[in-house]
Amino acid sequence: MRIVRSWLEEFADLRRWSDDELAVAITSLGLSVEATEMVGTPVDGVVVAKVLRTERHADAAKVHRVWVDAGDGVERHVWCGAFNMQVGDLVPLATLGTKMPDGRDILKRGILGIDSEGMLCSGAELGVASDASGILILPANAKLGRNVFEALGMQRDIVFDLDVTRNRPDCTGHLGVARDVAAHFGVKFTPPKGGGAKPGSARKVAVKIVDEQACARFNVTVMSGIVVGDSPDYLARRIIAAGMRPINNAVDASNLVMLETNQPNHAYDATKVASGFRIRLAMAGERLVTLDGVDRALDSADLLICDGNDRAIGIAGIMGGQDTEISGSTTEIALETAWFAPDGIRLTSQRLALRTEASARFERGVDPHGVAHSVARFAAILRESCPKLVVHAGASDPKTKHLPKSATISLRVAQVNRVLGTALNVRQVSTLLTRIGFVCAPKKIAVKKGSLVADGAGLSVKVPSWRPDCTDEIDLVEEVARHVGYDSLGKQVSQSTQPGGLSPLQQRRRALRDVVLSFGASEAMPNPFLAPGDHERAGVGAGVGVGGPVLTLENPLVAEESVLRHSLRPGMLRAVAFNVAHRAAHISLFELGHVYPAHHGVDANVPHNLPDEHEQLCIMMVGADAATAINWWSQITAVFGVGAQVDQNRVPAGYHATRSATLARGKQVVGYVGELDRLVLAAHGIEERVACLEVNASVLLGETPKVPVAKPVSRFPSSDFDLAFAAPTRITAAVLQRALRQAAGALGEEVSLFDVFRKTTGDDTRSLAFAVRLRASDRTLTETEVASTRAACIAAGVKLGCTLRGS
Amino acid sequence: MSSESNVDSIGQALAAATAAVATAGDADSLRRIANEYSGKQSALVAIKSSLGAMTDVEARKVAGRAVNAALQTLDAVVAERLVALERAAAGHAAASEAMDLTEHLARRSRGHAHIVTQAWERLEDVFVGMGFKVAEGPEVETDFNNFTALNMPPNHPARSNFDTLFVKYGEPGSTLLRTHTSPVQIRVMQEWDLPIYAVMPGRVFRRDTPDATHMPVFHQIEGLVVDKGITFAHLAGTIEAFTKAFFGSEFTSRLRPSYFPFTEPSAEFDVRSANGKWVELGGCGMVHPNVLQAGGIDPEVYTGFAFGFGIDRMAKERHEVADLRDMYANDLRFVRQF
């Protein structure tokens, strides 16, 4: 909202405060000043000159020659395309070398070989008036040679560009801003007077509100004695400064009323709407060509203004139709000033993608009781250019029961103080609210049972009709806070009465990330939205915890981002592929993020039931094999004390058939480990091996690890021996190791695999060598004990089908 | 023999022994030489054995002291030489296994955490230090928690400020990707014991076309305090304490009125550095009584405040990232800078 300083000053005396002070004050009231702009800046070199004589040139039809005197006694000759000046008139002369507001330089230019020594200017060219059709004729008393801006008494002006929040419809008009600012500075607020126009005979236009909810008030006032023309220059300048365009005096008056009071209105040529008005919802298939020339298809939720014959002539509160506009010959107007339900205007405006100055105001809520004032202001403004204006009596002004009524709110001063930390009394609160139009009366308010607000001293506060945002006590507390000033409310650190800290899960998440970073993997954050087919391309089958179909978005930005991931793999593959394509070295990435598997085992139709979202970890390293991946897992389990069965018989979808495993805990799948399938990698343009680990991080982080209980360290020596078995491929190292550990029994301190040897050709066995360390806590083991344990271990291996090597 | 001649011969033997020790090239030859000059067959020991024959007791004592001193000196010389020889041998061994450590500087090492994660954790740490716990919630949320409970019932105009992405799940429009972390406030109020001092970092979603300053997926952190006797001054004080703790003591904060449906009074908060420029950081306010009620808390007994701002922007400004999209391209050339 562009707020013009001089306009504000019509309603409050703000001369004492500089532009900066004013901007700071307006911002401190919650009307954020986004920019401050200077307008009406004088143009150097444009001076008052007198027309001495004019002369047509036989060969120039569109221009004539004008000789002027700029007070320095030098007669200057200029070519001029406008013919509206008389000899003796005073006109603005842009002398040679002047830089015009539009950036043009005034240079000596010739027509038909005769030079022009400057340029005569229109009001529009100087930015001081709306008229561009002729040269600006200056007041006869202007001093020759004086700068035109000084001669006109032009003043520089300031425009504050405000970001008005949705709850302050009153501040999309100068009046509302002025009221707030005046209260802030404690100066008198003087709203403008309306009227002054001649009252006329009764002229009633029939109005029928069909949809009483969408349109709760519709005033039509007829005015005559209108001569359509330009607005007075100062009003035109105001419209320009406020960011609109002057059209003619009647349309300008309409806009000026809106920019002042926030009440949009619409002036029709009265002869074209003589049949009356009907306000109703659009019918299916109905269309209307709006003022902007667009033929619009309407919806049955759109509110229409129709004439008495039910012909649509405008979309209510948004934009009028083309054929009832005021023309140059209009002498009588029917002025519509209405209240439309904000939601309806907002929805239609959104649906049609048509946001206008009017719709923006109606959808925030205009003053339901400001109609009379707004009509009077229209008349007062239009009368400046139409002295014979007549306002006819007998205006139609139907109101429905849906017209909002002003609320009366009980305000407990103790509640104000409890929320704001202030020590205000009833009188102080009353003063603050009264200044901005609230009507306050002292009131003893009943104390609610159990409430900490134990003092009932307060006010009965009648909310002004232009503040539809104030409906509850807390809204009034905010008004008090704004006018006390947020800065005056103090800063006090709230002392938490609780110990702060991360939850065990959050601490474990940080530890997990730390461990993964130590693997050399860097953190990626791929887009969680996927294209249809991305999961399949990444080889993700029925993923970790996935039962049903994927979740999709109702309203994706693009189809390529319409699927919610139930696996991190597609996004990670894309990130890896990107870096492969850019020939990055040592590509290793990880993501720790949420996945959203579609429901499984829950009824999606039960309200407030949410999908099975959980946190997932995915690590990938290019050029690394499955050994690397399983090593990540073993390090993670070491840190987190959470194990899982590494089941190579369950090949995860999208993984290498013989170099992968499912991580399972009983029936629960907690992750996948190994190398990714070559075809999956090829589909992403990756030729090297990729080691990958995917783990359900929610499971991993959700476990509370057992606190280890200290065991005393044995003071007795260990007995060590190595056993190398030729083990068939079907016997995994883990199975053999577990068998040896069991065989070693209570004496077995450690059984560790230290060597694997495969013959390059031939049989399907490989050598697995284990180091076995035995120890007792209370004695040195005897040779007999060691020998029998060793024999038990060998027997265990043999029982699995392995043979002891080198024996 | 006179005592003088004895002393002379002791000096000569020691001199010869010392000279021989100096020629030893390794520990073995040193041992041999030491044996030769201080062993049973050595001149010094021979002199020592001959002393018994001396009749002059005084002279015998003088000669005895001299020969013992010579033998001690010789031991010391040998020991010194041995140390020197070992040192030289170690030096040779080291020279033969020299390593260029800089060859190994460029080895792959630790990965790099995402700058959003780094900012996220720094923010958490500051608030934990101020006595806050950290709360979390799901990213796919109910319309109720995301809007209705936050004083934005269906058709509330402020809903249009959030370009919401809806998920096809359950009743149309009932499930969405949370547009802010505020629904976690509702969960915390419903589930936690009072009083509440919590921050809620998390990922949020808007239906926004990506550009240099907007991403459809980004991160926020919110704070929520609900206790008896919490006032607006506590809000301002907490924001100020955070500002100084996170940005530095030369920074200060201010609140100015604004509008959010879930807080009242509402404010924007700005921070100002020593250079005097105010920068808008986030929104805050006193928790609206309707929101407390939706969280199952009696607004007549408890008051509270909430605040929130973007984590991505913290990372972006700290590292002077020109375009937010770079933070989400997962390009290792970018990631490895931090």
Task: Give DSSP secondary structure letters for A234-298.
Answer: HHHHHHHHTT-----HHHHHHHHHHHHHS---EEEEGGGGTT-EEEEEPPTT-EEEBTTS-EEE-
Q: Could you give the angle at the alpha carbon of A234 between the alpha carbons of A232 and A235, nearest 5°?
A: 70
* Token pair listed for A241: 């400064």
Q: Walk across the sheet containing A319-320 and list its strands.
A: A207-209, A277-281, A303-307, A312-315, A319-320
Judgement on whether residues A614 and A671 belong to the same structural domain of the protein: yes
**Domains of chain B by start residue, with CATH:** 3-98 (no CATH), 115-335 (3.30.930.10)
**Residue where one domain finishes, among candidates A487, A519, A547:** A487
Judgement on whether residues A361 and A436 belong to the same structural domain of the protein: no
Judgement on whether residues A181 and A236 belong to the same structural domain of the protein: no
Measured in whole angstroms, the distance separating CA A745 from the mean position of its chain's CA atoms is 66
* Region class of A421: left (phi > 0), else alpha (psi between -120 and 50), else beta: left
How high is the pLDDT of residue A239? 87
Q: Which of A154, A96, A146 is nearest to A123 (CA)?
A: A154
Q: Could you give the angle at the alpha carbon of A731 between the alpha carbons of A727 and A732, nearest 5°?
A: 105
Minimal Cβ distance to B132: which of A500, A524, A579:
A500
DSSP-derived letter for residue A122 is: B
Minimal Cβ distance to B234: which of A492, A521, A561:
A492
DSSP-derived letter for residue A316 is: T
Question: What gap in Å lies between CA B178 and CA B166, rounded to an integer?
Answer: 9
- Run of H or E residues at A333: strand A333-340
CATH number of the domain that residue A321 is part of: 3.50.40.10
Partners of B264 on chain A (C-beta within 8 Å) are: 474-475, 477-478
| B2-10 average pLDDT score | 72
Q: How far is A766 from chain B (nearest CA, A)?
A: 32
CB neighbourhood size of A224 (10 A): 18
Q: What pLDDT digit, counting tens, does each position of A516-556 carry?
A: 999 999 999 999 999 999 999 999 875 444 445 788 999 99
Q: Which of A238-247, A630-639, A725-734, B79-88 has the lowest mean pLDDT?
A: A238-247
Q: CB A552 to CB B168 under 8 A? A: yes
- The C-alpha R_g of chain B, in whole angstroms, comes to 42
Diameter of chain B by CA atoms? 130
CB neighbourhood size of B26 (10 A): 12
Q: How far is A37 from chain B (nearest CA, A)?
A: 19
Q: Does residue A613 register a pLDDT over 60? A: yes
Residue of chain A whose Cα is closest to the Cα of B331: A579
A401 part of a folded domain: no
Which structural domain, as residue segments, surrounds residue A795?
A: 719-804
Q: How far is A695 from chain B (nearest CA, A)?
A: 19
Residue of chain B whose Cα is closest to the Cα of A595: B139
Judgement on whether residues A107 and A227 belong to the same structural domain of the protein: no
Judgement on whether residues A126 and A216 belong to the same structural domain of the protein: no
How high is the pLDDT of residue A761? 66
Residues 6+ apart with CB under 8 A from B206: B162, B163, B164, B165, B179, B214, B216, B218
Residue with tokens 């949809």: A211
Residue of chain A whose Cα is closest to the Cα of B215: A527
Q: How far is A782 from chain B (nearest CA, A)?
A: 42
Residues 6+ apart with CB under 8 A from A456: A412, A414, A444, A445, A446, A447
Minimal Cβ distance to A608: which of B144, B266, B298:
B144
Residue of chain B whose Cα is closest to the Cα of A500: B131
Partners of B128 on chain A (C-beta within 8 Å) are: 500-502
Q: CB B168 to CB A551 under 8 A? A: yes
Judgement on whether residues A147 and A163 belong to the same structural domain of the protein: no
Residue of chain A whose Cα is closest to the Cα of B252: A491
Q: What pLDDT digit, counting tens, does each position of B15-24 carry?
A: 988 999 999 8
Question: What gap in Å lies between CA B196 and CA B177, rounded to an integer?
Answer: 25
Residue of chain A whose Cα is closest to the Cα of B328: A525
* Token pair listed for B69: 């001193």
A713 part of a folded domain: no
Q: What pLDDT digit, counting tens, does each position of B63-114 carry?
A: 888 889 999 999 999 999 999 999 988 888 888 888 888 887 766 689 999 9
Interchain CB contact of A418 with B (< 8 Å): yes
Diameter of chain A by CA atoms? 137
The answer to whether A692 touches A540, Cβ cutoff 8 Å, is no
Question: What gap in Å lies between CA A138 and CA A86, rounded to an integer?
Answer: 12
How high is the pLDDT of residue A607? 47
How high is the pLDDT of residue B64? 87
Partners of A27 on chain B (C-beta within 8 Å) are: 256
**Residue where one domain finishes, among candidates A676, A702, A728:** A702
Q: What 3-state DSSP class applies to B199?
A: strand
Between B265 and A456, the more confident residue is B265
Whether residue B195 is preceded by a cis peptide bond, meaning omega within 30 degrees of 0, is yes
**Side chain identity, residue A354:** L
Q: What is the mean pLDDT of chain A?
A: 91
Q: Does residue A644 register a pLDDT over 80? A: yes
Judgement on whether residues A377 and A255 belong to the same structural domain of the protein: yes
A496 part of a folded domain: no
Q: CB A610 to CB B303 under 8 A? A: no
CATH number of the domain that residue A462 is part of: 3.30.56.10
Q: What is the pTM of this model?
A: 0.83
Interchain CB contact of A35 with B (< 8 Å): no
**Side chain identity, residue B110:** R
Distances A715 to A371, A487, A775, A777 between C-alpha atoms, Å = 98, 71, 10, 7
Q: Which residue intervals of A552-601 are DSSP H helices?
A: 569-581
Question: What gap in Å lies between CA A289 and CA A312, rounded to an integer?
Answer: 9
Residue of chain B whose Cα is closest to the Cα of A412: B300
Partner B, chain A 87-106, Cβ-Cβ below 8 Å: none
Handedness of CA B317, B321, B324, B330 (dihedral sign): negative
Q: What 3-state DSSP class applies to B289?
A: helix
The answer to whether A64 touches A56, Cβ cutoff 8 Å, is yes
Interchain CB contact of A58 with B (< 8 Å): no
Q: How far is B100 from chain A (nearest CA, A)?
A: 22
Judgement on whether residues A677 and A751 belong to the same structural domain of the protein: no
Q: CB A557 to CB B298 under 8 A? A: no
Q: Which of B142, B162, B168 is the mutation pick for testing A, counting most A CBs within 10 A?
A: B168
- Run of H or E residues at A526: none
Residue of chain A whose Cα is closest to the Cα of B267: A30
Q: Which of A612, A628, A611, A524 is nearest to A570 (CA)?
A: A524
Judgement on whether residues A520 and A649 belong to the same structural domain of the protein: yes
A193 part of a folded domain: no
CATH number of the domain that residue A574 is part of: 3.30.930.10
Interchain CB contact of A156 with B (< 8 Å): no
Partners of A526 on chain B (C-beta within 8 Å) are: 328, 330
Partners of B160 on chain A (C-beta within 8 Å) are: 346, 350
- Run of H or E residues at A51: strand A46-57
Q: What pLDDT digit, counting tens, does each position of B195-219 carry?
A: 999 999 999 999 989 998 899 999 9
Minimal Cβ distance to B332: which of A495, A553, A579:
A579
The answer to whether A731 touches A801, Cβ cutoff 8 Å, is yes
Q: Which of B136, B330, B333, B337 is the mutation pick for testing A, counting most A CBs within 10 A?
A: B330
Minimal Cβ distance to B111: which of A478, A521, A564:
A521
Question: What gap in Å lies between CA B254 and CA B235, rounded to an integer?
Answer: 11
Q: Does residue A134 register a pLDDT over 50? A: yes
Q: Which residue intervals of B24-169 are DSSP H helices?
A: 27-38, 43-50, 57-96, 115-129, 143-146
The answer to whether A275 touches A309, Cβ cutoff 8 Å, is yes
How high is the pLDDT of residue A113? 85
Judgement on whether residues A346 and A236 belong to the same structural domain of the protein: yes
Residues 6+ apart with CB under 8 A from A750: A771, A772, A773
CB neighbourhood size of A767 (10 A): 16
pLDDT classification of B129: cutoffs 50, 70, 90: very high
**Would you mind telling me the total number of residues written for chain B in this entry?**
338
Partners of A472 on chain B (C-beta within 8 Å) are: 289
A120 part of a folded domain: yes
Interchain CB contact of A600 with B (< 8 Å): no
Judgement on whether residues A76 and A203 belong to the same structural domain of the protein: no
Considering its fold, how many domains does chain A have in total?
Answer: 6
A-B C-beta contacts closer than 8 Å: 270
Q: How far is B26 from chain A (nearest CA, A)?
A: 39
A535 part of a folded domain: yes
Minimal Cβ distance to B300: which of A451, A481, A516:
A451
Interchain CB contact of A610 with B (< 8 Å): yes
DSSP-derived letter for residue B161 is: G
Partners of B155 on chain A (C-beta within 8 Å) are: 343
Question: What gap in Å lies between CA A591 and CA A509, rounded to an integer?
Answer: 12
The answer to whether A382 touches A195, Cβ cutoff 8 Å, is no
Partners of A498 on chain B (C-beta within 8 Å) are: 131, 133, 195, 197
Q: CB A490 to CB B233 under 8 A? A: yes
How high is the pLDDT of residue A39? 79
A472 part of a folded domain: yes
Between A607 and A610, the more confident residue is A610
**Side chain identity, residue A98:** T
The answer to whether A732 touches A722, Cβ cutoff 8 Å, is no
Residues 6+ apart with CB under 8 A from B220: B180, B181, B201, B202, B204, B308, B309, B310, B311
A192 part of a folded domain: no
Minimal Cβ distance to B265: which of A166, A478, A557:
A478
Question: What gap in Å lies between CA A346 and CA B198, rounded to an integer?
Answer: 36
Distances A50 to A65, A139, A657 between C-alpha atoms, Å = 14, 11, 98
Judgement on whether residues A169 and A77 belong to the same structural domain of the protein: no
Q: How far is B97 from chain A (nearest CA, A)?
A: 28
Residues 6+ apart with CB under 8 A from A163: A31, A32, A34
